[in-house]
Chains A and B, each alone.
Chain A
Amino acid sequence: MSPETQGRRTPGADLPDHPDRLWRPAEPKRAYDVVIVGGGGHGLATAYYLAKNHGITDVAVLERGWLAGGNMARNTTIIRSNYLWDESAGIYEHALKLWEGLEEDLGYPLLFSQRGVLNLAHSLQDVRDSVRRVNANRLNGVDAEWLTPEQVKEVCPIVDISPDVRYPVLGGTYQPRAGIAKHDYVAWGFAKAASDLGVDMIEHCEVTGLDVRDGRVTGVRTTRGAIAAGKVALAAAGHSSVVAGYAGVSLPVQSHPLQALVSELLEPVHPTVVMSNAVHVYVSQAHKGELVMGAGIDAANSYRQRGAFHIIERQMSAALELFPVFARAHVLRTWGGVVDVTPDASPIVGLTPVENLYVNCGWGTGGFKATPGVGWCYAHTVATGEPHPLNAPFSLDRFTTGKLVDEHGAAAVAH
């Protein structure tokens, strides 16, 4: 720095202007037609489709932290629709079809990459279940193939298919249209598009109560004051029990930490996504180069966004068996999110016993892939007061009628 300028220039004065914000920061109004509790992917997608598909724009998305800073920032971004039952195929495949046109629809890049997903089988029972699931997928119009170990190796050359390892690969299911997307971009794309249509994004606004009169919800109480609402749509993931409890609604969900980790940046070695139900690990390589790995849930209930180390240790040892090439990779960071798990590993989307109060929860370890699909269907449910046909099977009352949608086999992570 020359003596002339020293002390006269403001540091940073030469920097370019702050880029345009993607969404309008909004102050909470006193009332909205619809208040969405939870500014994660599901809440944002619901707001977008409420505005776009139903013309409902007097909508606030309330987020207790920063937008999409909960599980939307913590998931492993896997997108697929190869679930077993017709009900699940319906909603997950609807989501996948929306993903396929979403960048264009939102006018925002999402790094959506259909690089395929392999679900490995390590035991004869795995093989039988997997082949059955492939057949079920095909009957539902979901792309699915059963691959032999050699075919698995062709799709993903770094998988060790030798028969003498701890978890021998006996084959795998493959969904070529599955893949990954950049989770932050997905949230930002939905937030921008919804904001452009008039939705208010209100961050650092925690819901602390729900006002219910004569069996009908009339508003929310928040850390930024009371807000009246014609309808309230919950999309609070791990905190669903807490929020629904404000209205006296019990949910059959339990909150658990779910962990994931990334390695440092590495050259491209992993062309697809590999999931292994039996050993609780799922791996892909992000565009930037990190290996992204998810673990299973911690057994004990907790609302802490960190899990136990022995879960990570187990997951890493399983990953190393499958991918010996990872032996020299270093963990860059690990983290956890709080997921709400249902007894049948399927979500709850629909009406509640309280009028005008709607619930979307119970996505457990796999909500990211459903983001556009559930946003579409939940928006329909909130707008019309009736479940969309694709989320009707995922009602809260299925636990009373007994018509469960058991997806423990396809949900991939131990519930």
Chain B
Amino acid sequence: MLLIPCPWCGPRDEAEFHYGGQAHIAYPDNPAALSDEEWARYLFFRDNPKGPFAERWSHTAGCRRWFNVVRDTATNEIHAVYRVGEPRPVTA
């Protein structure tokens, strides 16, 4: 089980959180202009790295706020936690 440091509540068990997948996926600026390939990218394709991954979590059993985490998917080590709207921190 992951121990996730919520930016507002501190470290809590993974069971208190809801997962939101890859972070920093913006809704298309001009959806009507997208090709089928671009729609497919937006809807269905997400990064799936074996290594550092910027992802969203929501502390559903706590403060109920969404935030971002950089976690290494090869080790589950959490490198950074930051608030929505902040840029992805540079991690080693």
Contacts and interface: CB of A to CB of B under 8 A. Distances in A.
A160 to B, nearest CB: 26
A308 B14 contact: yes
B25 to A, nearest CB: 13
A242 B50 contact: yes
Contact of A308 (B1, B36, B37, B73): B1
- The contact size tier of chain B is 20 to 34
Given A252-B45, A302-B76, A310-B14, 10 more contacts: A242-B50, A252-B44, A254-B48, A299-B19, A300-B2, A300-B14, A301-B55, A304-B75, A343-B43, A400-B39
Given A308-B14, A310-B1, A310-B14, A301 B48 contact: yes
B50 A239 contact: yes
Nearest to A253: B48
24 contacts: A239-B50, A251-B45, A251-B48, A252-B40, A252-B44, A252-B45, A255-B50, A255-B73, A299-B19, A300-B2, A300-B19, A301-B73, A302-B76, A303-B73, A304-B74, A304-B76, A308-B14, A309-B1, A310-B1, A310-B14, A310-B15, A343-B43, A400-B36, A400-B40
Contacts of B64: none
A254 B46 contact: yes
Given A252-B45, A399-B40, A301 B53 contact: yes
Contacts of B7: none
Contacts of A239: 50
A401 B40 CA distance: 8
Say what secondary structure dominates the interface of chain A: loop
A365 interface: no
A399 B74 contact: no
Interface string B10-21: 000111001101
Interface of B: 1-2, 13-15, 18-19, 21, 36-37, 39-40, 43-46, 48-50, 53, 55, 71, 73-76
A38 to B, nearest CB: 15
Given A308-B1, A308-B2, A400-B36, A255 B19 contact: no
Given A242-B50, A253-B48, A255-B73, A299 B18 contact: yes
Nearest to A303: B50
Interface centre among B21, B39, B73 (most CB of A within 10 A): B73
A302 B76 CA distance: 7
Interface string A342-369: 0100000000000000000000000000
Q: Ordered nearest first, which 9 A-B pairs have the shortest CB separation?
A: A299-B19, A241-B48, A252-B44, A400-B40, A308-B1, A310-B15, A399-B44, A303-B50, A399-B40
